[in-house]
A and B are shown apart, each in its own frame.
Chain A
Amino acid sequence: MSDKYPIANEWFSRSGWQPYDFQIKTWDAILSGYSGLLNAPTGYGKTYAIWFGVVQQYFNKKKQPAGLHCLWITPLRALSKEIHMATERVSDELGIDYTIGLRTGDTSNKERTAQKKKMPNGLITTPESVHLLLAQKGYADTFKHIEFIVVDEWHELMGTKRGVQIELAISRLRAINPKLKVWGISATIGNLEEAKEVLLGSAPQKQTMIRAKLDKKIIIETLLPDVIEKYPWAGHLGITLIDKILPVIHQSNSTLIFTNTRSQCEIWYQRLLQYDPDLAGIIALHHGSLSEEVRQWVEEALHEGKLKAVVSTSSLDLGVDFRPVDTVVQIGSPKGVARFMQRAGRSGHQPGATSKIYFLPTHSLEIIEGSAIRYAIKEHLIEQRIPYIRSFDVLIQYLVTLAVSDGFHADIIYNEIVQTHCYESVTRDEFDWCLAFITQGGQLLDNYDEFHKVVIEDGIYKVTSRRIAMRHRLNMGTIVSESMMQVKYLGGARLGAIEEWFISRLKPGDAFWFAGKHVELISVKEMSAFVRKSTTNKGLFPSWQGGKMPLSSQLSKTIRHRLNEYQSGAKLDAEMDKLAPLFEEQKRRSHLPHEDELLIETAKTRDGYHVFFYPFEGRNVHEGLSALFAYRIAQIKPMSFSIAFNDYGFELLSDQEIPLEEALANGLLNNDNLTEDMLACVNITEMAKRKFRDIAHIAGLVFSGYPGKPVKARHMQASSQLFFSVFSDNEKNNLLLQQAYDEVLTFQMEQVRTLQSMERIQHQKVVIQHLEKLSPFCFPILAERFREKLSNEKLEDRLQKLIKQLEK
């Protein structure tokens, strides 16, 4: 090893380790003044690859400045804690004078005040906490000597508005200290180069990409049912496979069981205990709505190897390394290749170890995903993360944040933000619109106006009202949740939080499962629900709203490919063999589509007239296509549709016969006027209205208050939907409104992907099947509970129909 990095040398020789090539490369790059992105898997020392560079650089200075030198940002508090321990160990064991602090939502007020007086050299924190620091008076002084920002798990943050917060913070801190170096750490994603560009922005700087190139071996085994269910209702099969999962748990040291929703997490935990009471006390559950105390307990018990299994959601996806875990189970569709690999990587963390992951499908058609994902991993088909651009809500929040602390000059901040990836295309006019929004509440003024938020004094934008400053600080952040109720025992112990709407449907005495406990509701006081242990054995499982993750395009493409291979008679794998009877049944009742065919099924049932389409493109694209198709069909005659979709296809249901042939002849699948039609279909407005919920919160129009704290100012409350319709009626050019539509097109409907699939569908042969009996493919779609509506019938006609049905 070279003597350029004596601190690392000492650490490694003490431990008797050899550094990896990528670690040495990273140290070199940091010491030569580069910014960059490090692509390395968890468990191979990526933290130290960055850390020793940072610390060495600090001690290479002639004089070590006091105060903040490095800001280390992670997406999770739990991960922050781990990084804090790992870096503090270096300072302690080597006896070097580099102090490290932790600042997250959990940090006590006392500690915050102490930090304010004397900042540590390294601060491990989250994106939200960084913005809270920017909201403090005199923040520029705090960051005066900052030299490094390290962003951990950047692949996780990039596709979120928290990523945008990081971009903004970097733009500000770079202005304070132009020598700032920025490093990101990312797992493998399909657009690493773009990930680097987004993080670093367009400010001139030396930059590099370092890839660890340590391929991890992943073995996937699908837990298959003995006999395949030919009529796969969604969510039905999962639990019946419980006898397959129990041996896996017993054979392993410690197992992580991942589910896709918090509700599933609760259900599986309960069922496991029910089927194998011996597991009591050695299994636990973990999800984002459990109280911090409960989660911490579970994490510690996992570390110490006290738990045989933990049922979890994405709350345990990231970073933190649980050594005792040697097995991972994924319940339900893995949704994407990168996510699946990340979860698989939670086992076999040791360098060179193989990761073993079991996949448990929740309906029989899902079995195909086990086969598809194995193929995708082999072929390195890994998803991209799409960064947010032009997020005016986050920009508005940021501007008020700066106005709350020391105030800002518009020109200076404008020049900074256009160097970020998110805002590079924002014009000065648009920026001025944001300024008008926070200073005069929009561009239109009348004589009677009393708007008050940010004021301009001597060219400096600032907040002078303490009440407004306080409210802003309380509502900062980009994660918007449903209105939550704290669930507590009478004694005061907190179990966690459940969405208000779920509690509001319960009466005192009703039992439900939460945090793995069976409890009954006693009373509701303000935003707390008090419970006690229930003596009955029945009860509801809570559910949480929130977007369902769509199948990625990589995975859906692979599924189409696998179906095709099956048809060509190739011998594939255990999954496809298992599925053969289902596919044969699909052939008998309908048709099994080839890669170059689009299957459409029609049926008439008690519920009305159904048409099913199977593009196999993932639910987001199906959501868009279904709205588009419904809109186009309704151009023939006024109709009302109910729309359901899953990752494989979608359904249009109507009380009238659907003129499918006529619609096809009129160009239902045509690419002409595609974008216009997409914008015209009513559902875009509905979708935008939903997106606007988050936007209104982030931009400070709607307050959620702090979790657990009741909203005091009821008279200040209005729903985001109200704002949406008011802006739609009065202020068409409102940038937040436009942002809602842009987000729908980019993220929800995945416009690019939708255009690509329409392109593909154009060249497909359409196969229409009129079903006498429902087919295996259409069952899971019929079972989807969440449905969209689209109608262009007159309100009065719709009401008339509804009334007629009520009278029957």
Chain B
Amino acid sequence: MRIQLQNCEFILLPEKALYRPDESLLVIADVHLGKARHFRSEGIAIPASAQNGDYEKLRTLFDKFHPFKVYFLGDLFHSRLNNDWQLFESLINQYPHITFTLVKGNHDIINKTLFQQLHIQVVNHIEDKCFIYSHEPLKENASGKVNIAGHIHPGIHLSGKANQSLRLPCFYSTGTTFILPAFGSLTGLFMMDRNNDTEVYVVLPDNIKKI
């Protein structure tokens, strides 16, 4: 689904990512790589393969959009360094023409020199002419720019007649803040409120619906 933010066109993708065609920029939040292996190293038997889908999904997006730039909006890795790094490394090395930037999140505790060795920049936020990209939504934003952020893992609860209801991930926009759904498959949802000032874009398996 195409939307306009600050007169720029963005495409909301059902893969739970955001694409900005004019800059060939792909924005992805809260992947939480290495989570399964982190659990396993602590004796919790979650299948390591549980996260393979996330790598595949990233490849699919890179191959489909051929972005020049990719911003990871924080929580790219779930915890300390583990063997998932090797999977990540081979993914990044496969796309030498893409410029990757990591906006640091609260989970990102892996030493930034490791990222730099892969030519990934690590920053606290990114600001351009119209937007501020951050991990946590900014508490104050008087810049007149739109803040694009992650961290929240937004979801929405819809209910209707005959007691029908659904819980789905969403893109969530309120005022000057635009929040991405969490990309990673091993993440949960935080239920958001809906009111006159909010715009909610629900993520379905194959498309996005505004409600």
Q: Are B41 and A653 in contact (CB under 8 A)?
A: no
Q: Which residues of B contact A465 (CB under 8 A)?
A: 43
Of A641, A701, A787, which contacts B46 at CB under 8 A?
A701
Of A454, A471, A700, A795, which contacts B166 at CB under 8 A?
A795
Of B39, B164, B209, which contacts A655 at CB under 8 A?
B164
Q: In the complex the two chains form, what is the Cα distance from A438 to B92 in whole Å?
A: 34
Q: Which residues of B contact A453 (CB under 8 A)?
A: 43, 45
Provided the pairs A441-B40, A799-B209 are in contact, do residues A730 and B49 lie with their beta carbons within 8 angstroms? Answer: yes
Q: Which of A453-486 contact B (CB under 8 A)?
A: 453-454, 465, 468, 471
Is B123 on the interface with A (CB-CB < 8 A)? no
A506-514, A714-722, A746-754, A767-775 - interface stretch: A714-722
Distance in Å: Cβ of A400 to nearest Cβ of chain B: 9
Chain A interface secondary structure, helix, strand, loop or mixed? mixed
Q: Which residues of A contact B211 (CB under 8 A)?
A: 799, 803, 806
Q: Which residues of A contact B8 (CB under 8 A)?
A: none
Q: Which residues of B contact A448 (CB under 8 A)?
A: 37, 48, 83-84, 86-87
Provided the pairs A446-B49, A653-B162 are in contact, do residues A715 and B43 lie with their beta carbons within 8 angstroms? Answer: no
Of A608, A653, A718, the most chain B CB neighbours within 10 A belong to: A718
Is A450 on the interface with B (CB-CB < 8 A)? yes
Q: Which residues of A contact B48 (CB under 8 A)?
A: 441, 444, 446, 448-449, 451
Distance in Å: Cβ of B151 to nearest Cβ of chain A: 14
Distance in Å: Cβ of A784 to nearest Cβ of chain B: 11
Distance in Å: Cβ of A500 to nearest Cβ of chain B: 15
Q: Are B204 and A795 in contact (CB under 8 A)?
A: yes
Q: Which of A700-726 contact B (CB under 8 A)?
A: 700-701, 715-716, 718-719, 722-723, 726
Q: In the complex the two chains form, what is the Cα distance from A723 to B78 in whole Å?
A: 17
Provided the pairs A718-B39, A722-B186, A806-B211 are in contact, do residues A789 and B164 lie with their beta carbons within 8 angstroms? Answer: yes
Q: Which residues of B contact A449 (CB under 8 A)?
A: 37, 40, 48, 83
Q: Are A715 and B164 in contact (CB under 8 A)?
A: no
Is A207 on the interface with B (CB-CB < 8 A)? no
Of A722, A726, A731, A798, which contacts B164 at CB under 8 A?
A798
Is B38 on the interface with A (CB-CB < 8 A)? yes
Q: Are B43 and A802 in contact (CB under 8 A)?
A: no
Q: Are A641 and B162 in contact (CB under 8 A)?
A: yes
Q: Which residues of B contact A411 (CB under 8 A)?
A: none
Distance in Å: Cβ of B171 to nearest Cβ of chain A: 15
Q: In the complex the two chains form, what is the Cα distance from A17 to B188 in whole Å?
A: 65
Q: Are A723 and B46 in contact (CB under 8 A)?
A: yes
One digit per residue, 1 when the CB lies within 8 angstroms of any chain A CB and 0 when it does not, for chain B 160-203 equals 11111110100000000000000000101000000000000010
Q: Which residues of B contact A789 (CB under 8 A)?
A: 163-165
Q: Which residues of B contact A539 (CB under 8 A)?
A: none
Of B48, B107, B168, B204, the most chain A CB neighbours within 10 A belong to: B48
Distance in Å: Cβ of B16 to nearest Cβ of chain A: 15
Number of interface residues of A (CB under 8 A): 49
Closest to B52 in A: A730
Q: Which residues of B contact A716 (CB under 8 A)?
A: 39, 42, 44
Closest to A788 in B: B163
Q: Which of B63-110 contact A (CB under 8 A)?
A: 78-79, 82-84, 86-87, 107
Is B5 on the interface with A (CB-CB < 8 A)? no
Q: Which residues of B contact A653 (CB under 8 A)?
A: 162-163
Is A452 on the interface with B (CB-CB < 8 A)? yes
Q: Are A608 and B161 in contact (CB under 8 A)?
A: yes
Q: Are B44 and A726 in contact (CB under 8 A)?
A: no
Is B144 on the interface with A (CB-CB < 8 A)? no
Closest to A723 in B: B46
Closest to B158 in A: A802
Q: Which residues of B contact A442 (CB under 8 A)?
A: 45, 47
Q: Which residues of A contact B166 (CB under 8 A)?
A: 795, 798-799, 802
Distance in Å: Cβ of B80 to nearest Cβ of chain A: 9
Q: Are B47 and A452 in contact (CB under 8 A)?
A: no
Is A4 on the interface with B (CB-CB < 8 A)? no
Distance in Å: Cβ of A737 to nearest Cβ of chain B: 11
Of B40, B158, B188, B202, which contacts A451 at CB under 8 A?
B40
Is A333 on the interface with B (CB-CB < 8 A)? no
Is A791 on the interface with B (CB-CB < 8 A)? yes
Q: Which residues of A contact B50 (CB under 8 A)?
A: 726, 729-730
Q: Are B47 and A730 in contact (CB under 8 A)?
A: yes
Q: Which residues of A contact B46 (CB under 8 A)?
A: 441, 701, 718, 723, 726
Q: Are A444 and B49 in contact (CB under 8 A)?
A: yes
Q: Are A731 and B43 in contact (CB under 8 A)?
A: no
Provided the pairs A716-B42, A730-B49, A795-B205 are in contact, do residues A450 and B83 lie with their beta carbons within 8 angstroms? Answer: yes
Q: Are B41 and A450 in contact (CB under 8 A)?
A: yes
Of A640, A787, A791, A799, the most chain B CB neighbours within 10 A belong to: A799
Is A796 on the interface with B (CB-CB < 8 A)? yes
Q: Are A799 and B158 in contact (CB under 8 A)?
A: yes
Closest to B84 in A: A448
Q: In the complex the two chains form, what is the Cα distance from A479 to B42 in whole Å?
A: 23
Is B7 on the interface with A (CB-CB < 8 A)? no
Is B159 on the interface with A (CB-CB < 8 A)? yes
Is A642 on the interface with B (CB-CB < 8 A)? yes
Is A206 on the interface with B (CB-CB < 8 A)? no
Of A450, A654, A719, A729, which contacts B40 at CB under 8 A?
A450
Closest to B78 in A: A715
Distance in Å: Cβ of A622 to nearest Cβ of chain B: 17
Distance in Å: Cβ of B193 to nearest Cβ of chain A: 14
One digit per residue, 1 when the CB lies within 8 angstroms of any chain A CB and 0 when it does not, for chain B 124-153 equals 000000000000000000000000000000
Q: Are A451 and B163 in contact (CB under 8 A)?
A: no
Distance in Å: Cβ of B116 to nearest Cβ of chain A: 23
Q: Are B47 and A731 in contact (CB under 8 A)?
A: yes
Q: Are B44 and A701 in contact (CB under 8 A)?
A: yes
Is A118 on the interface with B (CB-CB < 8 A)? no
Distance in Å: Cβ of B108 to nearest Cβ of chain A: 12
Distance in Å: Cβ of B23 to nearest Cβ of chain A: 31
Q: In the complex the two chains form, what is the Cα distance from A448 to B38 in whole Å?
A: 12
Distance in Å: Cβ of A138 to nearest Cβ of chain B: 24
Q: Are A452 and B49 in contact (CB under 8 A)?
A: no
Q: In the complex the two chains form, what is the Cα distance from A757 to B45 in whole Å?
A: 40
Closest to B41 in A: A450
Is A48 on the interface with B (CB-CB < 8 A)? no
Is A437 on the interface with B (CB-CB < 8 A)? yes
Closest to A396 in B: B45
Q: Which residues of B contact A787 (CB under 8 A)?
A: 163
Is A278 on the interface with B (CB-CB < 8 A)? no
Q: Which residues of B contact A801 (CB under 8 A)?
A: 160-161, 164
Is A93 on the interface with B (CB-CB < 8 A)? no
Q: Are A715 and B47 in contact (CB under 8 A)?
A: no
Of B47, B84, B204, which contacts A726 at CB under 8 A?
B47
Of A437, A471, A719, which contacts B45 at CB under 8 A?
A437
Distance in Å: Cβ of A743 to nearest Cβ of chain B: 19
Q: Which residues of A contact B84 (CB under 8 A)?
A: 448
Q: Which residues of A contact B42 (CB under 8 A)?
A: 452, 468, 716
Closest to B46 in A: A726
Q: Which residues of B contact A640 (CB under 8 A)?
A: 162, 164
Q: Are B204 and A608 in contact (CB under 8 A)?
A: no
Q: Are B38 and A715 in contact (CB under 8 A)?
A: yes
Of A642, A719, A729, which contacts B162 at CB under 8 A?
A642
Q: In the complex the two chains form, what is the Cα distance from A121 to B205 in whole Å?
A: 64
Of B41, B45, B161, B209, which contacts A607 at CB under 8 A?
B161
Closest to A465 in B: B43
Q: In the complex the two chains form, what is the Cα distance from A5 to B165 in whole Å?
A: 68
Q: Are A441 and B45 in contact (CB under 8 A)?
A: yes
Q: In the complex the two chains form, what is the Cα distance from A719 to B160 in whole Å?
A: 27
Q: Are A715 and B107 in contact (CB under 8 A)?
A: yes
Q: In the complex the two chains form, what is the Cα distance from A641 to B163 in whole Å?
A: 8
Is A805 on the interface with B (CB-CB < 8 A)? yes
One digit per residue, 1 when the CB lies within 8 angstroms of any chain B CB and 0 when it does not, for chain A 114-143 equals 000000000000000000000000000000
What are some 6 contacts across the A-B interface (CB < 8 A)? A448-B37, A701-B45, A719-B188, A731-B47, A789-B164, A799-B158
- With A451-B45, A798-B164 given, name 4 new contacts (CB 8 A): A438-B45, A607-B162, A718-B46, A799-B166
